[in-house]
Amino acid sequence: MGRGRNTFLVRTVGIANLLVLVAATVVLSAAQVEPDPVATPGAVETPTAPEPAPTPRLPQPTLPPPVDATRESAAAAQANELGLVPVLMYHRILRKRLVSLDRTPGQLRAEFVRLARSGFVPVTATEFATGRMEIPAGSHPVVLTFDDGHPSHFGLGDDDLPKKGTAVEVLYEVAREYPSFRPVATFWVNGYPFGLRDRKDQARAVQWLRRQGFEVGNHTWDHPLLRSLKHRKVAEQIARTQRLVRQLGGGDPSTLALPYGAMPKRPGWARKGTWDGVLYDFAGVFLAGAEPSVSPYAKGFDPGAIQRIQSNGRKGECRRWCSDYWLSWLDRHPDRLYTSDGDPQKISFPGALGGNIGAKMKDRANPY
Ligand SMILES: [Zn+2]
């Protein structure tokens, strides 16, 4: 990996992020259904009964037992845990696309199949941001992220199974066909998760997802441009969704996706804060574009500003910055891709890349 290439990536990506942000702002301002900003979540009973087990009718997000990596096993797996990780960003999944950001269920399925065939294994945004990616040796992590809590991402039928054509249903369909493709994803929601207005329905959806191993994260209360808000308003926007997901039984969200990928005036305001007695302190804050993320073990990884890639073809601003482009680029540059050693403790990589490891990670290094 040459220094020149890194500089190129950083410089070009700065421009790309800006382009994608502008495009996304225009598109989303038109497409967003704004939840009512004055609505306050009603009291939802915290479930006291023992949690039901995940439904055995669906593929489980289990992982093979971890191995103890040696230099030899890491070399055999061609491990590179300092490599790049695609964090894919999805918006609405519609049979008939209305804006460029929309994907059809068929396009979603085709992308999942492509990833499965290329040896990618999904991890959640929290698993990625905290470096707890316990995927098999030789496989590559991918993070599947869905913004805005749209009904096309997830909904439950009367049979307690995901509705046909939703992102979750498509993911299970692919996981059945490709058992290595672990069915996990991250859903970043606003004030009305999955378009549901009733708190009981919201609780049922959020708890179901959590039980099955999915992550429900924070995407602010009503999707404002955080850059235009004062500190207190930024904290309110984040804390209200934090409180909602907790009250719904979705756990304490540990990741945040910035609306439009835009930082508040001070980046630190998004990462950590408090409002009305609600604290938040995220393991990861995610942007909206436009390149693969560096490994959480690599020098330069910033958990307060994690890169993502918009899922899309190669038209318009996506000619170079979206998933079709980047997944092909990673196919052509396997030496740049994160490849696991199968050992959650050790960080394995070809010896020549040793200079790229983060300072705090050095005692876990396993160069070969
Ligand atoms: Zn959004």
Kindly list the structural domains of the chain, giving each domain's residue range(s) and its CATH number in brackets, ordered by start: 3-29+82-340 (3.20.20.370)
pLDDT the model gives residue 40: 45
How many angstroms does the Cα of residue 32 sit away from the middle of ligand 1?
8
Amino acid 6: pLDDT: 42
What is the rounded average pLDDT of the residues 301-329? 95
pLDDT at 48: 55
> Distance, CA 147 to ligand 1 centroid (Å)?
5
pLDDT band at 303 (very low <50, low <70, confident <90, very high): very high
* Residue 38 predicted with pLDDT over 60: no
Residue 141 · residue 199 · CB < 8 Å: no
188 or 31: whose pLDDT is higher? 188
Residue 66 DSSP class: P
pLDDT category at 317 given cuts 50, 70, 90 is confident
Gyration radius of the chain over CA positions:
20
As separate numbers, helices (DSSP H) first and strands (DSSP E) second, the chain gives 10, 12
pLDDT score at 50: 60
Q: What is the whole-number distance in angstroms between the Cα of residue 343 and the centre of ligand 1?
A: 34
Structure tokens at 213: 């191993």
Q: Which residue has the higher pLDDT, 2 or 352?
A: 352
pLDDT confidence of residue 20:
45
pLDDT exceeding 90 applies to what percent of the chain? 82
User: How far is ligand 1, taken at its centre, from the CA of residue 230, in Å?
Assistant: 20
Question: What does DSSP assign to residue 80?
Answer: B
Assign 15 a pLDDT band (cuts: 50, 70, 90): very low
- Judge whether residue 36 has pLDDT over 60: no
Residue 39 Rama label (left phi>0; alpha psi -120 to 50; beta): beta
Distance from residue 260's CA to the centre of ligand 1 (Å): 6
Contact 321, 110 (CB under 8 A): no
CA of 205 to the centre of ligand 1 (A): 19
What pLDDT, in 10s, does the model give residues 270-286?
Answer: 999 999 999 999 999 99
Whether the pLDDT of residue 27 is over 80: the answer is: no
CA–centroid distance, 12 to ligand 1, in Å, is 23
The Cα 286–Cα 87 span in angstroms is 9
Provide the pLDDT confidence category of residue 4 given band limits of 50, 70 and 90: very low
Distance of CA 35 from the midpoint of ligand 1 (Å): 12
CA distance linking residue 220 with residue 264, whole number of Å: 12
Name residue, tokens 């059809």. 104
Report whether pLDDT(348) > 80. Answer: yes
Does the structure show a pLDDT above 50 at 14?
no
CA of 154 to the centre of ligand 1 (A): 16
Give the number of other Cβ atoms within 10 Å of residue 97's Cβ.
13
For ligand 1, the distance from its centroid to the CA atom of residue 101, given in whole angstroms, is 11
State the average pLDDT for the chain: 89
CA of residue 219 to ligand 1 center, whole Å: 7
Look at 16-20, 135-139, 206-210 and tell me which has the smallest mean pLDDT. Answer: 16-20
The pairing of beta strand 278-281 with beta strand 272-275: antiparallel
Higher-scoring residue by pLDDT: 290, 20? 290
Is the per-residue pLDDT at 17 higher than 60?
no
Q: What is the pLDDT of residue 220?
A: 98
pLDDT band with cut points at 50, 70 and 90 for residue 63: confident
Pairwise CA distance, residues 368 & 355, whole Å? 13
Per DSSP bridges, beta strands 255-257 and 272-275 are unpaired
What is the pLDDT, as a whole number, of residue 359? Answer: 94
Tell me the per-residue pLDDT of 329-345, one tens digit each, with 9 for 90 and over.
999 999 999 999 999 99
CB 18, CB 287: distance < 8 Å = no
In this prediction, residue 49 carries a pLDDT of 57
Quick check: bond before 305 cis, omega within 30? Answer: no
Burial (Cβ within 10 Å: 0-12, 13-18, ≥19) of residue 335: exposed
How far apart CA 137 and CA 83 sit, in angstroms, is: 14
Please tell me the distance between residue 277's alpha carbon and the centre of ligand 1 in angstroms: 25
